[in-house]
Structure 1
Amino acid sequence: MQETFVTIAKFPYSTEAQIAKGRLEADGIDVFLRDNLTIDTDPLVSQAIGGVKLKVLAKDEEKARAILQSIKAYSVNDDGNPIVCPNCKGKHIEMYTTITNLKSLLSFLIGFITGTLPFSTRYQYKCEDCNTEFPIKN
């Protein structure tokens, strides 16, 4: 029987993937990272190739996902308290960046053309329980 690997997580940079890999290997799960060397060579291609893929054997998928879920850090506010979803009051909130206005689009384009990181970013939050997207008001 051929054992196959399945992707259970994706990370923008290999340092984050290495932490998860170490945790899974400590629990006896075989882990394989894909595209980590490419992204280490040129981090700007991370979005284009889909990030670093964390892969485990198909037979270990359920156990590995449970371990990753147990150590997953969710978004907190400036005081260190969990951010709460305004819709369902859930605390499983992920932060992501978006290009939603002209300023952030121009910043992205200038950064892309010059090879620098963007200097204007908007942050949005998304509840994993009810998929509500919302900004944090200061």
Structure 2
Amino acid sequence: MNTIILTTCSNSTEAYLIKGTLENNGIDCFLTNENFSNLMPHYFNIMGAGIQVMIDESDLEKAQKLISSPKADEIVCPNCNSSNVTFGFGYNKVKKWFIVFLSLFSWVPFGNIRKNFRCEDCKTEF
């Protein structure tokens, strides 16, 4: 039962995301060099100074598949399943910009003006 280095991460956020993914899938792991890398981030990759994710040698193949799987970051329209989606103020842009300018001139905060996703194919806002 040997422990090996699965990967070396440049920051603790990335290392904890990988650690969480592995632990959620039943692979025991731990991090090394975490304090050194957080205290001296400019020494990254000098003498293996990155945060190392350590796993058992028997879990290597499963762990490599988990961390190399593609991420589902693509936004699709819930109405037509198109990926031709933009992010912006939506149809009532003029109204939202009017509220922003009015609030700037009257020195009153305008509150929360949300941006929405908009499908360019079926014109649905979500």
Could you state the TM-score of these two structures normalised by the residue count of structure 2? 0.52
Residue 26 of structure 2 is aligned to residue 28 of structure 1: yes
Q: Aligned partners of 1:72 and 1:45: how far apart in 2?
A: 29
Q: What is the CA RMSD across the aligned residues, in angstroms?
A: 2.5
Change (3 A) 1:12 1:71: same
The AA in structure 1 aligned to 2:18 is: A
CA offset at residue 49 of structure 1? 3.3
Paired letter, 1:70: S
Within-5 A mapping of 1:5-20: 5-20=3-18
CA deviation after TM superposition for structure 1 residue 72, in Å: 6.0
Alignment: residue pair count: 74
Identity among equivalent pairs (%): 32
Structure number with greater CO (CA < 8 Å, separation at least 6) is: 2
Structure 2 runs not aligned, ≥5 long:
73-126
Counterpart for residue 60 of structure 1 = 59
| Aligned-residue offset at 1:42 | 1.5
Q: Structure 1 regions of 5+ residues with no counterpart?
A: 74-138
* 1:79-94 superposed matches below 5 A: none
Runs (4 or more) in structure 1 with deviation over 4 Å come to: none
SS at match of 2:27: coil
Q: Which residue of 1 aligns with 2:68?
A: 69
Q: Which amino acid aligns with 1:59?
A: S
Q: 2: distance between equivalents of 1:38 and 1:61? A: 25
TM-score of the pair, normalised by structure 1? 0.48
